[in-house]
A and B are shown apart, each in its own frame.
With several copies, the nearest count.
Chain A
Amino acid sequence: MSPTPMLIESLVIMLIGMTIVFSFLLLLVGILRVMSWAALRISPIAIEPEPMPSSALVAAGGADAAPLAVIAAAIARYRADHAGSRR
């Protein structure tokens, strides 16, 4: 394909693409709200009621080894620290 029509096509893709991404995620926002509303009606008391404050978690940092595991670990640790009274 020659560059110019390709440029037009890519502009169209950008337009459509961003529209779809936003529509999709906006729709998801709505659906998640409905889902949460329904879920909390079905099982009103949260099973894992940890509040997630802006807190000490950060010290965990250290940009390294297992990026994804870090979140998991940090949250797990956080839950463990704060869950004692409940579980």
Chain B
Amino acid sequence: MDPLLKLWESMGIANMDFGQALMMAVGCLLIYLAIAKKFEPLLLVPIGFGAFLSNIPVADIGGPNGMTGMIYAVGVETGIFPLLIFMGVGALTDFGALIARPSTLLLGAAAQFGIFATLIGAVLLNFVPGFDFTLQDAAAIAIIGGADGPTAIFLASRLAPDLLGAIAVAAYSYMALVPIIQPPIMRALTTQAERRVVMQQLRPVSQLERILFPLVVLLLCALLLPSAAPLIGMLTFGNLLRECGVVERLSRAAQNEIINIVTIMLGLAIGSKLSADTFLSLQTLGILVLGALAFSIGTAAGVIMGKMMHRVTGGKVNPLIGAAGVSAVPMSARVVNRVGLEADHHNFLLMHAMGPNVAGVIGSAVAAGILLALTGN
């Protein structure tokens, strides 16, 4: 009978291929990790669900006329969504610790070594048969080392849209894994004495400094590295809304309504890039390996820079706070605090780690700008 056949042909089980089934399982896995293991649930629940939805056969929800596909085109292809999230990050972030001790910016700089080392790593993988990353691909993969979701999504959507799904998943997964990845590296590179260093209290920061800070950062970025201007611009815009004290309404909108709405949409949209043919490949495996490498190298570089600052300052800096330079705000600052407490039960490093932590956000936005300027077309 005609309609019965029509119906059967429209059924999922009649059309599902193995890849789709596997990707639906991947979506469920991400949801499981998000809920049960608290892996960055704000992003991974929508991404996982988006992956599930977008891989439902026949429905083509991730396609150009499907819902997640259209959201992708409007919000991710244009770069608007990650930028709006970055505005929210700026509005939620207190840069006080960084203003009080600007030298921690160097820790945020050092940790970006993870990014560039991964770039080399991705290019080296091309010597392995089966891998064929372009330089753009490699740069997009490298940014995972920035440990900063919106930056990674922004750069990947510009340089390697096909890899966006895998890169976003890797970035958020490793950010969730920071408490597991970082401590052994931190312990291996520091002595017990170094980990016990008690740091000086941070000085108070005036409101004027807080207001000038975003403008100064943006000005420097505009002069030196305009390719990072969208990212740094929205970050500092959000922060200015927060600190200027006269637009409370807008600051709240950036911190809540906008970031929440956009997070839902962004997650679903990223899910639409988690299709079997791009995700279930050797490439993804490579990306996951490189991502772990990136976080590890970034952590190590940060800690080593911390040790150098420890020496140069005559022992005033606890090298552990260098690990917070990878950003992964505020997870890595909490990890620093925890590892610090292991060494001395009265040594709270959280506020001190906040400086390098937010410095890492700026650092990886700068690195993203460099990669965009040097590999983009």
Partner-B contacts on A (CB < 8 A): 1, 3, 6-7, 9-14, 16-18, 20-22, 24-29, 31-33, 35-36, 39-40, 42-43, 45-58, 61, 63-72, 75
Q: Given A39-B209, A68-B329, A6 and B126 touching (CB < 8 A)?
A: yes
Q: Sample 21 A-B pairs with CB under 8 A, ordered by A number.
A: A3-B124, A11-B120, A13-B116, A14-B120, A17-B367, A20-B366, A24-B220, A25-B109, A26-B109, A31-B220, A39-B206, A48-B204, A48-B205, A51-B203, A53-B202, A54-B351, A64-B38, A64-B246, A65-B248, A66-B249, A71-B354
Partner-A contacts on B (CB < 8 A): 1, 3-4, 7, 38, 40-42, 88-89, 92-94, 96-100, 102-103, 105-106, 108-109, 112-113, 115-117, 119-120, 122-124, 126-127, 134-135, 138-139, 179, 198-199, 201-210, 212-213, 216-217, 220-221, 224-225, 246-249, 255, 329-331, 333-334, 337, 341, 347-352, 354, 359, 362-363, 366-367, 370-371, 374-375
Give the 10 A-B residue pairs with the shortest CB-CB distance, closest first.
A54-B348, A14-B116, A46-B206, A32-B102, A49-B204, A47-B207, A25-B109, A52-B202, A25-B105, A3-B126
Q: Which residues of chain B are near A49, meaning CB under 8 Å?
A: 204, 206
Q: Which residues of chain A are near B108, meaning CB under 8 Å?
A: 25
Query: A50 to B147, alpha carbons, bound, how many Å?
Result: 30
Choice from B89, B106, B207 contacting A22 with Cβ under 8 Å? B106
Q: Which residues of chain A are near B112, meaning CB under 8 Å?
A: 17-18, 21
Choice from B89, B109, B349 contacting A21 with Cβ under 8 Å? B109
**B227: shortest Cβ distance to chain A, in Å?**
11
Choice from B92, B117, B334, B362 contacting A63 with Cβ under 8 Å? B334
Judge whether A68 and B92 touch: CB under 8 Å.
yes
Q: Which residues of chain B are near A33, meaning CB under 8 Å?
A: 102
Q: Is the interface of A mostly helix, strand, loop or mixed?
A: helix
Cβ-closest chain A residue relative to B373: A20
**A5: shortest Cβ distance to chain B, in Å?**
10
Judge whether B135 and A10 touch: CB under 8 Å.
yes
Query: A35 to B175, alpha carbons, bound, how many Å?
Result: 32
Apart from A42-B208, A47-B208, A54-B351, 13 more pairs, CB < 8 Å: A10-B122, A13-B371, A17-B115, A17-B371, A18-B112, A24-B221, A25-B106, A28-B362, A32-B99, A53-B202, A54-B352, A67-B42, A67-B331
Q: Which residues of chain B are near A20, meaning CB under 8 Å?
A: 7, 224-225, 366, 370
Judge whether A28 and B102 touch: CB under 8 Å.
yes
